[in-house]
Structure 1
Amino acid sequence: MTARAGTCLALALLAGCATLPADPPATLTGIRFAPATLPEGVRQSNRDLAEDFLDLTFALENGEELPVLLRYEEPVRVYMDSPELAYYEPDLAQLLSRIRTEAGIDIARVRDPAKARIFIEAVPSREIASVFPTAACFIAPGERNWRGFRARAAETHPRWAAQRALGEAAIFLPPDATPQDTRDCLAEEITQALGPANDLYRLPDSIWNDDNFHGMATRFDMTILRTLYQPEFRSGMTRDEVAAVLPRVLARTNPMGRSLPRRPRAPESRVWAGAIEAAQDARVDRADRIDAGLLATGVAAEMRPPDQRLGVARLALGRAALSRDPVFAAQQFADAYAEFRDEFGTRDIRTAQAGVHLAALALGAGDHDAAIRLADRHIPDAIAFQNAILVASFLTLKADALAATGAESEAAEARLDSLRWARYGFGDIDGALAREQIALAASMPAPRN
């Protein structure tokens, strides 16, 4: 289950997530991310990776434990026939190709539903919200379609914990969400439908993390999937049985992790998870969101060692407090940027997410050169991590900074590019969200170093 409400960043801070009309392709201008194939393996101790593997495959995000390992024991065939999802057929093809290449799983699309195991169906957002108010999309094990799912009483729905092997499953996607959100949902739900059903906030580089920083499956995710589908494993194995052979399997699927030492890691925190979800929930009163952001920041600061959750909390707190205390919000953004940069470097999606706020602050303070430098530094990262909202945000800020310096032709080019990416990212058809954010940025002081 994916909650994508928190992905509306930067330009959508005040206005919230805009959605495209019911016919997304009619409003787009050809923006689509290029196919990507990532290198195999992760630079992470296999002992840490084993812990992550077990937590992803033997538990759910609600805390429920799964008694046995779940995966497909036969080739996986995927059926998607909703006309409303036709625009996403290339995205589905690219994703399945990555899973075959990077994870080694026999998975393909079929046109005959009788041959399928995973069924993808378009369901309007309001109908999804009637079942799971905070979810943008979700997987239903043991189902084939929305009609069958809704026909069952809630208490009779098949449960993950009752499965002994993966069989049929339905994925429900919102065709009326933005192309970015729908495509991100597609990536997360299909990869989780293959077995790793849990979401863990402690994972820094995974699409299976409800902080929503990653919209595409990462090298970590593909390593987990490749490991899950090794011949040593089979559906129905207990956690202890899996743990006994896991080190040997990981030595083969992630050889670079064999000699790396373990890193101290703070565990999952239910308190932090609840606080960050409230801080990012637009339906929550702003004062309560600020309080939740303060709690999330405090809890994350006390983790030993602190990790990316502190920066995530600072960003959420800064966004919640932006209109009430812009000086305080500016400091949260600056601190988050520094923490992400020090931990992950400048070529990272988290650093870029914080950097877009610093670019807005620089523009508002009249430091046009700094705004342009930040945009030029992080636009390649936003594209590499396939985040159209972030690309549009940086391009909008760069366009205004260029215009302020008199570079009108360059500004016009950047502005046109920003609108093309915005239409894909969050349906900002006429630039209204961008103009509103820039107006706010102009009233904000620059952060102190």
Structure 2
Amino acid sequence: MSLVAPAAVQVHKLVEGRPARRCIKRISAGATTLAALLVLAACGAQAPDVSERMAASAMPLPALPRFGPPDPLPPARANADMVRDILEMGFFLESGRAVPALSRFDGPVTLRVTGAPPVGALTDTDRLIQRLRSEADIDITRVPEDQPARINVTFLPRARIRSLVPQAACFLVPNVSSWQDFRANRRNPALDWAQVSVRQEVGIFIPSDTTPQETRDCLHEEVGQALGPLNDLFRLTDSIFNDDNFQTALTGFDMLVLRAWNDPALQNGMRPAQVAAVLPAVLARLNPRGERGGTGPAGPTPRAWINAIEAAFGGEGGRDMRLDAASRALTLANAAGWQDGRLALSLFLVARFLPPQEGEAALAALIRAGAIYRDLPGAEVHAAHVDMQLTVQALASGQMDLVMQLTTRAIPVARRTENAALLSSLQLLRAEALQAMGARADAAALRLDSLIWARYGFGTDDAVRARLAEVAALTRALPVSR
């Protein structure tokens, strides 16, 4: 079973970490580093009238947007590393249990959508199928809901999903075709992925009452795992199969993994050693530019670190409990000597939960996380999330030039990775900077554009308007532009 981590890193949660009752003071114009530009200090000022900034909130919100032609970042890691990653993804479950043999569908794959698909879900499903056909070379077709299919995507209320699987945002199960089938057979050994030798039928269950972006994210991850390896690895910054949930759509790395997993050179029932013997030649043929070096063994991810990260993600404890969990993860990451996405994620979460009076420590953790992410393959969107947090800090302190610099770097990444929530948040932050700089017409135009993506990323009109108000409130301590 593959579960998407609840309360995963989402843009609409990250802005909650903005400064409270403090601002960021400027330092001398000779400062050259980002850390120097963002020195925290306490301050206070009159709150300006933000009615002009909020004018867009009274307008009818646009219909759901559509991204342009897919342009995923290509796989950037060496094939030797990919062999290691695919073996760990394919022959272990997220619980750590071993999967004894390769399993996949034989022949063409059919997919149907049943239940109550929300607006836009069928369009996103068809777009995903087209990508799987063209990028992963998988023969997959959507059929009408009244026909049998090998992949059965069911939309139903989140409350019904969590009545049986409380921690799941969405999930997949082998050898079932419907929710009723799953309910009736929950304890049947046939639903154990470790016992599956050939994939015949898979049930995927997705909330019908969530945001369009989360619907799309669930489709990509669960359909991807129905067709390929089942494990999620925290160290894979260039993959949607990573419970940090920064990647929201199948990446170039993911499509290459799916293409390799379904290559004719591999067969159902192959043991890990057999796959390990064949996979290098498969990847050399599919990804010749990956025939170079490699980083060597990545080292296991201890369960203690995973448990700490999941506790930091989880919403059951308050900020102090989540900070404690993130701090434990950071201690473990440093002790292990990691310099990869696991260390960066630990730093990112510590920064997220540090209290306002420890702003300098939070800023240092963010900057260090961003530096690590920029050195990792496929971690551009992770770095863009860090840039968004730094943009919040810069906007709240009136450093509009820095807001423009950071958003100029991050917005194209959010657009290319099709992360509408991140894109709209960055656009709203940039619009606030333009407003403060006196470019009111440009600010209004960008704010309206951001609402198109906010509708997709945040769902309801109320959620979109709340985000608009939240970003506008960041400049309350700043002078009003005249």
TM-score (norm 2): 0.83
Name the structure, 1 or 2, with higher relative contact order (CA <8 Å, separation 6+): 2
- Higher mean C-alpha deviation, range 285-294 or range 261-270: 261-270
Cα shift at 1:223: 1.1
Indicate which of 162, 167, 170 corresponds to 2:200.
167
Preserved CA contact (<8 Å) 1:365 1:442: no
Q: What pairs up with 1:190-201 in 2 under 5 angstroms?
A: 190-201=223-234
Cα shift at 1:264: 5.2
CA shift in 2, pair 1:373/1:310, >3 Å: same
- Partner of 2:66 in structure 1? 32
- Partner of 2:38 in structure 1? none
Indicate which of 302, 311, 327 corresponds to 1:269.
302
Describe the SS at the equivalent of 2:307: helix
Aligned equivalents of 1:98, 1:409: Cα separation in 2: 38
Cα shift at 1:436: 3.0
Unaligned runs of 5+ in 1: 16-25, 445-449
CA shift in 2, pair 1:261/1:315, >3 Å: closer
Counterpart AA for 2:11 = L
- Partner of 1:203 in structure 2? 236
Aligned equivalents of 2:73, 2:332: Cα separation in 1: 35
Describe the SS at the equivalent of 1:5: coil
Indicate which of 383, 388, 409 corresponds to 1:377.
409
Indicate which of 206, 210, 222 corresponds to 1:177.
210
Describe the SS at the equivalent of 1:78: strand
Counterpart AA for 1:154 = R
Describe the SS at the equivalent of 2:221: helix
Indicate which of 323, 346, 351 corresponds to 1:313.
346
Aligned equivalents of 2:315, 2:163: Cα separation in 1: 17
Indicate which of 169, 184, 204 corresponds to 1:136.
169
Cα shift at 1:428: 6.1
Indicate which of 430, 442, 445 corresponds to 1:410.
442
Cα shift at 1:434: 4.1
Aligned equivalents of 2:254, 2:115: Cα separation in 1: 27
Q: What pairs up with 1:256-405 in 2 under 5 angstroms?
A: 256-263=289-296, 265-323=298-356, 325-343=358-376, 348-405=380-437
Preserved CA contact (<8 Å) 1:4 1:212: no
Preserved CA contact (<8 Å) 1:293 1:313: yes
Aligned equivalents of 1:351, 1:341: Cα separation in 2: 6
Two-structure CA RMSD over aligned residues (Å): 2.5
- Higher mean C-alpha deviation, range 256-265 or range 187-196: 256-265
Question: Which structure has the greater CA radius of gyration?
Answer: 2
Cα shift at 1:181: 0.7
- Higher mean C-alpha deviation, range 315-324 or range 242-251: 315-324
- Partner of 2:275 in structure 1? 242
- Partner of 1:419 in structure 2? 451
Q: What pairs up with 1:40-79 in 2 under 5 angstroms?
A: 42-79=75-112
TM-score (norm 1): 0.89
Preserved CA contact (<8 Å) 1:264 1:305: no
Aligned equivalents of 1:103, 1:406: Cα separation in 2: 48
Indicate which of 4, 8, 11 corresponds to 1:9.
11
CA shift in 2, pair 1:441/1:136, >3 Å: farther
> Residue by residue, what CA displacement relative to the aligned partner does 1:258-305 show, whole Å, maximum 9, x if unpaired?
233444524323222111111122222221101111111222223334
Preserved CA contact (<8 Å) 2:153 2:203: yes
Aligned equivalents of 1:51, 1:264: Cα separation in 2: 8
Aligned equivalents of 1:424, 1:287: Cα separation in 2: 32
Preserved CA contact (<8 Å) 2:138 2:262: yes
Aligned equivalents of 1:62, 1:324: Cα separation in 2: 38
Cα shift at 1:389: 1.1
- Higher mean C-alpha deviation, range 118-127 or range 156-165: 156-165
Preserved CA contact (<8 Å) 1:28 1:424: no
Describe the SS at the equivalent of 1:154: coil
Aligned equivalents of 1:438, 1:325: Cα separation in 2: 24
CA shift in 2, pair 1:191/1:344, >3 Å: closer
Preserved CA contact (<8 Å) 1:364 1:438: no
Preserved CA contact (<8 Å) 1:349 1:385: yes
Preserved CA contact (<8 Å) 2:228 2:262: no
- Higher mean C-alpha deviation, range 161-170 or range 145-154: 145-154
Preserved CA contact (<8 Å) 2:15 2:389: no
The alignment of Structure 1 onto Structure 2 pairs a total of residues equal to: 432
- Partner of 1:19 in structure 2? none
Cα shift at 1:438: 5.3
Preserved CA contact (<8 Å) 1:419 1:428: no
